[in-house]
Structure 1
């Protein structure tokens, strides 16, 4: 960011509005302003400019739609002149109602971190509850409905699972805790959010190890889903990577499929004897002892139970996203493990 700021300072010859779109620590706008000022001073020129914080709120897999139809436009500026320019810039995307929210620059910078940290906190909170539900024999899905019906809580981002990944939540939560530390504040809750998430990524693997025993030697797990979420091939901080390492460390093998992330998986793990990348979800089942569902792709939601019984050596499913119905699994004769829900079916032996 500062390198770009210095480049702008080298080439600008009249008034400019410099807009920070990146997710950056609080105080970055000041550093950008100072970097440009230093370059201009070195050039021996005086040119007016303003720095604006305008963080993006784009979801991976839906970035274009989010840009064209934003639910809010955060603009941090201390200049009325700049505010008028920014309002005019965003007018085509702001027709139904006024979505533009003006604030001071530090508040805009903090808003972006705060938004992602809040969503990550909701996820980690539900995952923490799911582990408590597991120990008490409660069903976290019923708990989710019970608390989500309270409008103060709502249903968004309270789905239990095996942790969040990607490039935003892990980075932003860690950065916010670090930023707090820089001003002498211990952000204990925010640090805990990431700690809970890291632990949650091991929950599905722990269930597999508990079912089969500490050693997975001679066992093969079919794995559906490698990307950290549907509609992307991004595997940064993906729970699948943690699960793969758990299975391999226990001596097991994996047959894996993802609708989008096969090339990325190949790039990360290269050629391994204990990993077979399959062309279809059905192919991944061949010769496997159990199925583990890691990413909730739409195509994984409808199961062919006859095919599963024919290809799996044991009718066993580990569902890391709670996308299947427990009663249906029981009726179909499967041993079914989910997150924060009682196991259904009786393991063989």
Structure 2
């Protein structure tokens, strides 16, 4: 089948490459000439495991091409996937200007039946606006071509998007029940047939329900994360171990283990934006989504939790101290820095006078760009932020190590070497990678999320702020040992 993908961002590239890989003829459109030049030269503007190999293979086979020619892209595909960005507007609503611009371009140039697929994450009712935009353009040139707008939301996890696309647990299709909609349903059924060979994965529904499904899914997952983070903060106060609690509740099949890990908050391009957009949709209809408002508030507060722990341990003034940071991207296997917890944490450390040395296996270049923008108004702070090419270089001479992304390379480091590099054997872990008792036995002071720091006699560590003021430092209970989860 001939397919057009409008937008070569994260969703568009994965969609186009994976559909080309099963034999379709795919043309990807983007108005950013620089991005198209990179793709046509064999580069890939995002980091996603396995994607570069699929793109290279299908470019060589002639099944995947990239262009800035709008008219050619509309002429090419019977199916037109709209996969452009829907960033948050100032009020938290999804900004649909790029979606509607793509729709208008289709209406200006189409010369036959088209299935227009909303692949971007869009609010309920967007398909109606897309349909109206196309109809207006057709009317302006007195054309009467049949078309249908389908909602086909993506469910791709960054870092595992290729696997998610090629082995989906469900394919959601929202189609109208009129004649164009029935035809669109058959076209989409044929397109996705290769993914349904061993069992039917496609869920057919009305368009509005399909649009709602995407937001509902992300809102549920974000809720689980914020729920566990609130429990972790309470566990800190009552002396419980949130990892033991996670295992205890996750073993209940009604709950399960997914998205129950406590940490320093969620980020990325989906959860923050989609939760805000769903809240805004409710506000527009005079309804309050109190649970999601709390989810959002909890997450914003959670991004500050490590800074609170650091200040509680080392004092308000961090001048002269150096912190090593492991992990900058919002999650492993991606270079995505959008809403990453590393951004407010590093900004807070710099504001308090610290020096920060940071490392990420993939996201360093993107982090340089992002922090240059974040800190452009405070160049004296930016000067105290450096990026290293090795995780141990980050630790060398640091007063403490801060872990913000759960990359595999961080899960079982050489702790003896790490101790030798650190000025003080002190770790603040925002992802609960290690067991407190195990690190205590190695002579490392360890502060995580919802886990009690274990300390053993003989560990030399800087005093807490309370101890510096003459107060006795509290003793903490230890927990079970095993190094990494």
Shorter-chain TM range is over 0.9
Is 2:366 aligned against 1:256? no
2:164 is aligned to 66
CA-CA distance at 1:16 after TM superposition: 1.4
> Could you tell me how far 1:184 is from its partner in structure 2?
1.2
SS in 1 for 2:192: helix
CA RMSD for the aligned pairs?
Answer: 1.2
The structure 1 residue matched to 2:390, chosen from 277, 280, 295, is 280
Please list the CA deviations of residues 221-250 of structure 1 after superposition, one character each: whole Å capped at 9, or x if unmatched. Answer: 110000100001111100000110110111
Residues 343 and 371, structure 2, Cα contact 8 Å, conserved in 1: no
Alignment of 1:187-198 (within 5 A): 187-198=289-300
Report how many aligned residue pairs link the two structures.
349
Q: Which residue in the other structure is 2:127 paired with?
A: 29
Q: Which residue of 139, 142, 146 maps to 1:44?
A: 142
| Aligned residue in 2 for 1:114 | 216
- 1:315 counterpart (412, 425, 429): 425
Partner in structure 2 of residue 3 of structure 1: 101
TM-fit CA distance, 1:125:
0.4
Residue of structure 1 in register with 2:444 after alignment: 334
Are 1:300 and 2:398 matched, yes or no?
A: no
Q: Is the contact made by 2:327 and 2:404 (CA closer than 8 Å) also made in structure 1?
A: yes
Partner of 1:213: 315
Distance in 2, Cα, partners of 1:266 & 1:348? 31
Higher RCO (CA < 8 A, seq sep 6+)? 1
C-alpha separation in 2, matches of 1:202 and 1:148: 26
Query: What is the distance in 1 between the residues matched to 2:307 and 2:347?
Result: 9
- Which residue of 1 is the match for residue 197 of structure 2? 95
State TM-score, norm by structure 2: 0.71
Any idea what SS the aligned residue of 1:92 has?
Answer: helix
Task: Give the Cα–Cα distance (whole angstroms) in 2 for the partners of residues 331 and 88 of structure 1.
Answer: 59
Residue from 214, 220, 226 that aligns with 2:328:
226
Residues in 2 aligned to 1:3 and 1:313: alpha-carbon distance in whole angstroms: 55
SS at structure 1 position matched to 2:325: strand
Residue from 108, 117, 121 that aligns with 1:19: 117
Matched, 1:180 2:282: yes
Aligned equivalents of 2:167, 2:418: Cα separation in 1: 41
Distance of 2:325 and 2:105 partners within structure 1: 47
Deviation at 1:305, TM superposition (A): 2.1
Superposed displacement of residue 269, structure 1: 2.3
Partner of 1:77: 175
2:341 counterpart residue number: 239
Q: Would you say the 8 A contact 2:314–2:462 is kept in 1?
A: no
- Distance in 2 separating the partners of 1:283 and 1:136: 37
Return the offset for 1:348: 4.0
Following superposition, the deviation at residue 302 of structure 1 comes to: 1.0
Shift of 1:149: 0.8
What secondary structure, in the 3-state scheme, does the structure 1 residue paired with 2:296 have? helix
Instruction: Look up the match of 1:104.
Output: 206
Deviation at 1:81, TM superposition (A): 2.4
More off after superposition, 36-45 vs 223-232: 36-45
Q: Distance in 2 between matches of 1:30 and 1:13?
A: 21
2:252 is aligned with 1:150: yes
Q: Unaligned stretches of 5+ in structure 2?
A: 1-98, 373-378, 464-485
Structure 1: gaps (5+ residues): none
Q: Mean alpha-carbon deviation: is it higher for 150-159 or for 86-95?
A: 86-95
- Residue of structure 1 equivalent to 2:434: 324
State the partner residue of 2:233.
131
* 1:311, distance to aligned residue in structure 2 (A): 1.7
| TM-score of the two chains, using structure 1 as the length reference | 0.98
Q: Which residue of 1 aligns with 2:50?
A: none
Measured after TM superposition, the shift of residue 303 of structure 1 is 2.4
